[in-house]
């Protein structure tokens, strides 16, 4: 076995690989950019090598620096993780030429299947059903418009070297191609160093189902069943699960057989994924093959008991697969939620900043389920604008699908992050939706269920009771410490403007009696003290975790996707409070604000220019994504407060109208 492996990646996947190497007794080397100098992966690795500035094109994508680091440290092999150089056939060839083992498929397989254009040509020759489209490169915007018209809208514009949701747009009309084609080329160049583009028909209301394959260097290939990845936003996977609630045994076997046949045709000899677009009728078409480890590999590991990183290492070392297809079985159900640094209340735009608090749920066996959190960050780390916004991958396993979903809901409750926007409330909302729980999924799920964006969820009756009880308990604790002479039993709770009369008494548990409703609840095992951001307890026997924040007046309490401002007042104070005039929001109607922190790529207006609603005003780039900022009203530009190349904060004024 290898004695030392270099990891040509960063973040959670670098940490994930280190953990397997440690278990296998293999020393690790991590390369790092300036932005990652204090990262968790750098701290955990046995050796580290600095490779340059934060932009990936000057560090993680520079093959010269990666191979030099391997030679310098005596690493026998390189694991590329996912993204960066993981699907670069030229890099795999170079490793072989320099006597370094590339932990991934052979260069021929990467060339045949890793390139999105070539893989479709190859699949057609192999008799695999593919999505209709233009199989070939696109020259320019005019060529893209012509081809899109021939295929018929909607179409999907995709980077040939793309992956991870980067370099992809859906175009519904010519204008979308005019704007989307150059944006996809720019993203592809920045993320992959390859700006070749192709176009295919976009199939409406499909499901995204992929088959995990695994091969060795002796001609053996097996599949490790499927993953359903239909919950996506902007073509970026958000929630994945294994197996798929759509497939029956016959369809699963057919998809698996096709994936294995395709892999065998190119002598595939590592972990890889054959992706399919599937109809609700269980029809399926080959989409592409990812010749690398997938972000969502933990759900496959949880249902099969295999360590895919270990299998990749063993295959690269020349070992034969230790099992056959007949040995592999599906055990239970697993769900993965991607925890992203993004603000769901602002259109899921990237949220850059420091993890002031990072408190994930406990891992391991929890109430009959398994909780796993793959992360590459710690409290105090910074989420940089230069890389993907993922904070961690939270996975749960249970014997049944609903068991795994319920376990995920509880794990998300226990996950606390402060310092930047994150999508935990949104993920919690999905777990509680009846449609998701029923398994009726499609890649349009988020668009269908959240057509106006995500604004949280209205509290259920249980959540209203929970928030009132938590607020009363917090208020009682604070009052007892700060002003015990003001202790009393009867209070008025105002929750998002709704008034409730309560009586709070202490015994073995805290009793909260709703006087105007004739109901009494017991709050037990309360785990909270001033300064803690999570309140845990049992409400009438039901375990819960709530995110809490004392405000200058009252408390902000969030349970899953529902949140409320809750006041606990004396009857007289409540009476006076209701007479206060509402606070008016600031008027920003004549301003164009940056919706997120990022870099100004272009600012397309000048003072005195007439602008119409919907016209592009600026392009802001953050975390490898370019976002077009449009005017929301007609007007004449009065002031321009930024220029191309400037770094801007969220809500910074870019343009003012007269």
Catalytic residues: 288
- Which residue, among 294, 305, 307, 308, has the nearest Cα to 227 in the 3D structure? 294
Helix then strand count (H, E) for the chain reads 17, 40
Return d(Cα 300, Cα 240) in angstroms, integer.
10
Could you tell me the strand order of the sheet in which 598-603 lies? 625-630, 616-622, 598-603, 647-648
Return d(Cα 506, Cα 510) in angstroms, integer.
5
Return d(Cα 528, Cα 536) in angstroms, integer.
7
Helix (H, G, I), strand (E, B) or coil at 40: helix
Residues 45 and 61: beta-carbon distance below 8 Å: no
- Which residue, among 285, 300, 290, has the nearest Cα to 244 in the 3D structure? 300
Could you tell me the strand order of the sheet in which 591-593 lies? 591-593, 653-657, 635-640, 610-611
State the residue for tokens 């709770």.
493
Q: Interhelix angle for 89-97 vs 63-73, to 10°?
A: 30
- The DSSP bridge pattern shows strands 77-79 and 101-102 to be parallel
State the residue for tokens 């349009």.
444
- Which residue, among 390, 301, 375, 316, has the nearest Cα to 79 in the 3D structure? 316
Please report the DSSP string for 34-54 in residue order.
GGGTT-HHHHHSSEEEEEESS
Q: How far lies 479's CA from each of 483, 501, 647, in Å? A: 5, 18, 45
Asked if residue 459 has a cis previous peptide bond (ω within 30° of 0), the answer is no
Return d(Cα 179, Cα 169) in angstroms, integer.
10
Return d(Cα 234, Cα 346) in angstroms, integer.
14
DSSP code at position 509: S
Quick count: other Cβ atoms within 10 Å of Cβ 16?
25
- Please report which helix (H) or strand (E) contains residue 491, including its range: strand 490-495
Give me 273's structure tokens.
Answer: 């994924």
Strand-pair partners of 211: 226, 274
- Which residue, among 582, 546, 561, has the nearest Cα to 472 in the 3D structure? 546
Quick count: other Cβ atoms within 10 Å of Cβ 447?
11
Give me 249's structure tokens.
Answer: 């045994």
Q: Convert 386-406 into a string of H (helix), E (strand) and C (coil).
A: CCCCEEEEEEEEECCHHHHHH
**Residues with Cβ < 8 Å from 185, sequence gap 6 or more?**
159, 195, 197
Give me 475's structure tokens.
Answer: 């208020």
Helix (H, G, I), strand (E, B) or coil at 85: coil
Helix (H, G, I), strand (E, B) or coil at 604: coil
Residues 72 and 49: beta-carbon distance below 8 Å: yes
Return d(Cα 103, Cα 105) in angstroms, integer.
7
Helix (H, G, I), strand (E, B) or coil at 481: helix
């Amino acid at each position: 076995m290898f004695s030392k492996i270099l990891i040509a990646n960063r973040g959670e996947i670098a940490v994930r690989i280190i953990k397997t190497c440690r278990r296998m007794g293999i020393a690790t080397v991590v390369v790092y950019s300036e932005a990652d100098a204090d990262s968790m992966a750098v701290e955990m690795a046995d050796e580290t090598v600095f490779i340059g500035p934060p932009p990936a094109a000057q560090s993680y994508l520079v093959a010269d620096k990666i191979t030099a680091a391997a030679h310098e440290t005596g690493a026998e092999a390189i694991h590329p993780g996912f993204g960066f150089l993981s699907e670069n056939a030229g890099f795999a060839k170079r490793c072989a030429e320099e006597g370094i083992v590339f932990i991934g498929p052979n260069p021929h397989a990467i060339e045949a299947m890793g390139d999105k254009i070539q893989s479709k040509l190859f699949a057609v020759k192999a008799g695999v059903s593919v999505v209709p489209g233009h199989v070939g490169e696109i020259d320019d915007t005019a060529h893209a418009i012509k081809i899109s018209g021939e295929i018929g809208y909607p179409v999907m514009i995709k980077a040939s070297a793309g992956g991870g949701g980067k370099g992809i747009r859906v175009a519904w009309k010519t204008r979308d191609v005019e704007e989307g084609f150059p944006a996809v080329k720019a993203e592809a160049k920045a993320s992959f160093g390859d700006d070749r583009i192709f176009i295919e028909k976009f199939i409406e209301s499909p499901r995204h189902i992929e088959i995990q394959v695994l091969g060795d260097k002796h001609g053996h290939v097996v599949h490790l069943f499927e993953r359903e990845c239909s919950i996506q936003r902007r073509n970026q996977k958000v929630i994945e699960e294994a197996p798929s609630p759509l497939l029956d045994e016959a369809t699963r076997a057919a998809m698996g057989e096709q994936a294995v046949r395709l892999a065998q045709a190119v002598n595939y000899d590592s972990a890889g994924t054959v992706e399919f677009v599937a109809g609700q009728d269980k029809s399926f078409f080959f989409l592409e093959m990812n010749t690398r480890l997938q972000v969502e590999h933990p759900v496959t590991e949880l249902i099969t008991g295999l360590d895919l990183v270990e299998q990749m290492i063993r295959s690269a070392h020349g070992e034969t697969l230790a099992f056959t297809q007949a040995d592999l079985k599906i055990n239970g159900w697993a769900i993965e939620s991607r925890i992203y640094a993004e603000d769901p209340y602002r259109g899921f735009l990237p949220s850059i900043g420091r993890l002031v608090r990072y408190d994930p749920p406990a891992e391991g066996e929890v109430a009959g389920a398994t909780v796993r959190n793959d992360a590459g960050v710690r409290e105090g780390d910074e989420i940089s604008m230069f890389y993907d916004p993922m904070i961690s991958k939270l996975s749960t396993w249970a014997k049944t699908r609903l068991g795994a979903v319920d376990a995920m809901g509880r794990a998300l409750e226990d996950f606390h992050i402060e310092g930047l926007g994150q999508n935990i409330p949104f993920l919690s909302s999905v777990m509680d939706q009846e449609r998701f729980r029923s398994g009726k999924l499609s890649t349009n799920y988020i668009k269908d269920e959240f057509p106006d964006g995500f604004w949280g969820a209205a509290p259920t009756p249980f959540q209203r009771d929970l928030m009132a009880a938590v607020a009363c308990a917090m208020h009682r604790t604070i009052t007892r410490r700060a002003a015990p002479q003001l202790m009393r039993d009867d209070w008025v709770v105002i929750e998002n403007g709704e008034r409730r009369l309560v009586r709070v008494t202490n015994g073995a548990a805290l009793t909260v009696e709703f006087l105007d409703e004739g109901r009494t609840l017991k709050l037990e095992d309360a785990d909270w003290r001033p300064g803690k951001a999570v309140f845990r307890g049992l409400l009438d026997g039901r375990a819960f975790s709530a995110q809490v924040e004392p405000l200058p007046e009252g408390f902000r309490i969030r349970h899953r996707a529902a949140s409320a401002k809750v006041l606990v007042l004396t009857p007289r104070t409540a009476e006076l409070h209701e007479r206060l005039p509402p606070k008016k929001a600031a008027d920003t109607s004549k301003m164009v604000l940056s919706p997120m922190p990022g870099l100004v790529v272009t600012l397309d207006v000048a003072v005195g220019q007439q602008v119409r609603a919907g016209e592009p005003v600026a392009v802001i780039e953050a975390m490898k994504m370019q976002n077009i900022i449009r005017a929301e009203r007609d007007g004449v530009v009065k002031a321009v407060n930024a220029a191309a190349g400037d770094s801007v904060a969220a809500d910074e004024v870019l343009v003012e109208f007269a």
